Structure 1
Amino acid sequence: MTISVVLHGVESTGKSVLAERLAGHFGTIWVPEYGRTHAEIHGVAMDEADLLLIGRTQAAMIAAAMPRANRFLFADTDSLMTAAWAQMMIGHVPKDLMTYQRADLYLLLEPDVAWVPDALRIYGDDPVRARFADISRAVLEQAGVHWASIGGDWDARFAQAVTIVENFAPPKSLQGFDLRRENE
């Protein structure tokens, strides 16, 4: 059985680097973020159609990678993170973004590292970044998925993620399982 792990959180919290690093550590593959590629080609001003396309494409990329994964599959975002982007960008979450296959485990990267600007990052102002972080967390809670918070410097994030992933054994029924309590 392959366990899917999605990195979730606001921009500039190290999701891409951590996903790749975890995949290397666990000897498996990772799925990059399609939304960034879309923004590189089409720009950062997005509407509902763009966000739905991003969510659909990310879900398809994750599904296509699952058979090639070795025990774990790491993904740098999924449709739930796209749902958080939708709330920030267009003021609501299109229902379709909440309907795609969900990961077994989400690692929420806290915004407690310095924001690094680049041409595609748009929510670096501290109050706006904090609002986006709150929305990102709320989407996970609304979706009812299993998640754990990751914080600290880059090495601390990696160490926390490895420990959480190594200790995550999804029960037959994930209903009622609150991973957050396990890691407090």
Structure 2
Amino acid sequence: MITVCLHGAESTGKSVLAERLGYPWVPEYGRTYCEENGTDLTMADLLAIAEGQAEANRKAMASRPPVLLFDTDQLMTAAWAQMLFGEAPDVLFRYPKADHYLLFAPDVPWQDDGTRFFGPDERRAHFAALAEEMLVRAGVPFSRIGGSWQEREAQARAVIEGIGKPDARPW
């Protein structure tokens, strides 16, 4: 089984692409949490989101599909913690990691959906940089995904199809 986590700033197409790629995928628990509890988040909320996502990921992994996509994981929660509170607790780096991460660039229009924080300005760019910083800090393999919606989908497919093939490394 190969696990791939979609990672990056808000409104970069991660959830939409997760649905379109045709692989089993685990939705973002944080969205559900915020819709149910509001967006006035504390660090305790972020830690609860991290644990809720971990539980959803574990349940999905139990069926052992050949490829499983995570809409997010605790490394993205670490970026949120750093952005909102100026620190990323070590516990967020202790969760199991995906086999590969797709880092989505913030080069498509931002859209407010009622749960997003960091709009189309320097905050979005800063958040995107923090997202990448968390991947680097964790030492996980990742590929950059950017461009038009069609380009993003093609890039993601190429990377996923190349994972585990020694001669096909599109990243």
Query: Which TM class, normalised by the smaller chain length?
Result: over 0.9
Q: C-alpha displacement at 1:69, in angstroms?
A: 4.2
Q: Is the 8 A contact 2:79 2:88 kept in 1?
A: yes
CA shift at 1:170, angstroms?
A: 7.4
AA at the equivalent of 1:128: R
Tell me how far apart the structure 2 counterparts of residues 142 and 126 of structure 1 sit (CA, whole Å): 25
- In the alignment, which residue of structure 2 is the partner of 1:38? 33
**Considering only aligned residues, what root-mean-square deviation do their CA atoms show, in Å?**
1.4
5 Å-filtered alignment, 1:16-165, equals 16-22=15-21, 24=22, 28-165=23-160
Q: Distance in 2 between matches of 1:165 and 1:74?
A: 10
Count of matched residue pairs: 169
Query: Structure 1 CA distance, aligned partners of 2:120 and 2:149?
Result: 21
* Separation in 1, partners of 2:33, 2:5: 19
SS at match of 1:120: coil
Q: CA deviation at 1:30?
A: 0.4
On the 8 A contact 1:29/1:69 being kept in 2, the answer is: no
The normalised TM-score by structure 1 is 0.88
Indicate conservation of the 8 Å contact 1:104/1:170, yes or no.
no
Return the match for 1:166 from 161, 164, 168.
161
Q: Percent identity?
A: 50
For 1:169, the aligned partner's letter is: G
2:129 counterpart letter in structure 1: D
User: Take 2:64 and 2:87, find their aligned partners in 1: how far apart are those partners?
Assistant: 33
- Check the 8 A contact 1:4/1:103 in 2, yes or no: yes
Question: How far apart are residue 29 of structure 1 and its match?
Answer: 1.1
Say whether the 8 Å CA contact 2:112–2:119 is kept in structure 1: yes
Contact 1:48 1:94 in 2 (8 A): no
d(CA) in 1 for partners of 2:62 and 2:147?
33
Letter matched to residue 80 of structure 1: L
TM-score with structure 2 length normalisation? 0.94
C-alpha contact 1:84 1:93 (8 A) present in aligned 2 = yes
Structure 2, unaligned stretches of length 5 or more? none
Partner of 2:10: 11
For structure 1, list consecutive stretches of 5 or more residues without a partner in the other structure.
172-178
| Structure 1 pair 111–11 and aligned structure 2 pair: CA distance change class (3 A) | same
Runs of 4 or more off by more than 6 Å in structure 1?
A: none
**What SS class does the counterpart of residue 119 from structure 1 fall into?**
coil
